[in-house]
Structure 1
Amino acid sequence: MVRFLFALPVLLMPLPLAAGAGLQHRDPALVTLEFGAFCQLASVDSVEAPDTLAQRVDLLPRTPEIRWPGPVVPAKPGISFGVRTETGGLQMYPVTIEVSHPPFIGSGMTHQSYVTTLGGEDASINAYSFDLNEEMVPGIWTIRALFDGAILYEVTFDVVSPDTVPTIGQDCGKDFLS
């Protein structure tokens, strides 16, 4: 099942960058911004999101830390990747999160989006989790947040074969409960 994640309750580590991968834009309203991968968390609820393959966005029990900072992400089950931000208390709504990616196997889908709140007192994360083989397509993936017609952030990820970065996510899924 395709799952978008967001939770409401920096530091960028250099990694080898693919052409065009990494932070493309950051609005000054964002006090911190971190991006990369983390182990998938079990959701506690979901909200409708008609412009996504799953037709919903999963809600997380907490805002996860980015465990593997940077734009390189293996296409493997149990991995989530995204953008973690803090706004210093500023709350923004409605924020549109857009995800562009290579065509999914079978459906050909290349774009998904949903509306959320960004900011507040705690960190926010907007992320994508790999659940189905059809969505584990290598290539350039972009996550963009828009508020009031302006780009808050745009981050480009290079999704690669798991054997390219075997240490990322090697222990994910051992304690995961669907």
Structure 2
Amino acid sequence: MIRRLAPLCLALLPLPLSAGGVEHRADTLLKLEFGAFCQLASVDSVEAPDTLAQRVDLLPVTPPIRWHGPVVPAKAGLSFGVRTETGGLQMYPVTIEVTHPPFLGSGMTHQSYVTTLGGDDASINAYSFDLPEEMVTGTWTIRALFGGEPLYVVSFEVVRPEDAPWIGQDCGADYLS
């Protein structure tokens, strides 16, 4: 299920910058980090008809990235995504797109929702593994678009849990929403 936090934004202009599976606009004030963290229980949700769950969960805080980088094990209770800071700028509407290998059963490969990016605090747009049919290995990409132009594109490699056992090993099961 897709998870997002308090709104966040960035100042945008042209020209993407690329570095190892990550692209973002070089002319923005965007500070970006990505990776995995233990799933948090949601405090609310908003409608998101183009997602498997038909909603996006809202988190009580913007969690820090605990395991930085593009490798994420397909594990229940683990979330992964992109944490951003913009230095106070705000943008709306920003479309977050998540593409992934086909889900078991439904064959779904694309999900999206609209959010606000920006503000004084950090924000996160992330995905949480809740259901067995979501835990598919392969390349997952999270992309933020504003005015039809990419703000950032981050690719993750979701692997079998035994291929990255140190990631999420201490995430408990009592946090699930």
| Alpha-carbon separation, structure 2, partners of 1:153 and 1:107 | 28
Runs of 4+ in 1 over 4 A off after TM superposition: none
| Alpha-carbon separation, structure 2, partners of 1:39 and 1:55 | 22
Contact 2:39/2:78 (8 A) holds in 1:
yes
Change (3 A) 1:21 1:104: farther
- Percent identical: 77
Residues 14-44 of structure 1: CA distance to partner in whole angstroms, max 9, x if unpaired? xxxxxx9631334532431000000000000
| Alpha-carbon separation, structure 2, partners of 1:26 and 1:5 | 23
> Is residue 154 of structure 2 the alignment partner of residue 167 of structure 1?
no
Residues 55-74 of structure 1: CA distance to partner in whole angstroms, max 9, x if unpaired? 00000000000000000000
Superposed, 1:92-107 pairs within 5 Å as 92-107=91-106
- Equivalent pairs counted in the alignment come to 166
Alpha-carbon deviation of 1:54?
Answer: 0.4
Secondary structure of residue in 1 paired with 2:92: strand
Contact 1:66/1:84 (8 A) holds in 2:
yes
Alpha-carbon deviation of 1:174?
Answer: 4.6
Equivalent position amino acid for 2:103 in 1: F
Secondary structure of residue in 1 paired with 2:151: strand
Secondary structure of residue in 2 paired with 1:52: coil
Change (3 A) 1:61 1:160: same
Contact 1:39/1:80 (8 A) holds in 2:
yes
Superposed, 1:54-73 pairs within 5 Å as 54-73=53-72
Q: Partner residue of 1:108?
A: 107
Q: Partner residue of 1:74?
A: 73
Contact 1:21/1:157 (8 A) holds in 2:
no
Equivalent position amino acid for 1:42 in 2: A
Secondary structure of residue in 1 paired with 2:133: helix
| Alpha-carbon separation, structure 2, partners of 1:119 and 1:104 | 31
| Alpha-carbon separation, structure 1, partners of 2:32 and 2:67 | 14
| Alpha-carbon separation, structure 2, partners of 1:150 and 1:88 | 20
Contact 1:21/1:71 (8 A) holds in 2:
no
Contact 2:100/2:110 (8 A) holds in 1:
yes
| Alpha-carbon separation, structure 1, partners of 2:119 and 2:52 | 28
> Is residue 71 of structure 2 the alignment partner of residue 40 of structure 1?
no
Contact 2:72/2:158 (8 A) holds in 1:
yes
Contact 2:39/2:176 (8 A) holds in 1:
no
| Alpha-carbon separation, structure 2, partners of 1:111 and 1:129 | 15
Equivalent position amino acid for 1:68 in 2: W
Q: Partner residue of 2:4?
A: 6
Alpha-carbon deviation of 1:175?
Answer: 4.3
